[in-house]
Structure 1
């Protein structure tokens, strides 16, 4: 049974967390290089927020959005 759990430990430490270990070692050499993935995710989120806000504005301007408080039966 112990070998089973040690096998799971090996799998997670050596396979699943290999990228995390690489980034941890890279941070000691180059902070910006290790945080590049964070900057990429922040840029993707910023683009998604801008797109979402533009779509909300588009729907609001076209009158498709029902702003009536009685639009749902449970709000009456």
Structure 2
């Protein structure tokens, strides 16, 4: 069982994180954090899209807002 977890450790540390090791050794802050900025932009765009969709459904009164509409209420 120990070999299984050491195999997972090897996979992540030695194979999957190779691009991140290259970013860590960069001398430019912007270059080293480009992946974080890309993820931030994707998340911000997704959040704006989600909020606009919620507003669209709310404006059309498509949601049943009765207190018995959802079983968890």
TM range, normalised to the smaller chain? 0.7 to 0.9
Match for residue 17 of structure 2? 17
**Distance in structure 2 (CA, Å) of the matches to 1:15 and 1:40:** 22
Match for residue 67 of structure 1? 65
Pick aligned residue for 2:29 from 15, 28, 31: 31
Q: Radius of gyration: which is bigger?
A: 1
- What count of residue pairs does the alignment treat as equivalent? 69
Q: Call closer, same or farther: CA 1:50–1:13 in 2, change over 3 Å.
A: closer
* Structure with greater proportional helix content: 1
**TM-score normalised to the size of structure 1?**
0.73
Q: Call closer, same or farther: CA 1:69–1:11 in 2, change over 3 Å.
A: closer
**Distance in structure 1 (CA, Å) of the matches to 2:48 and 2:12:** 37
**TM-score normalised to the size of structure 2?**
0.76
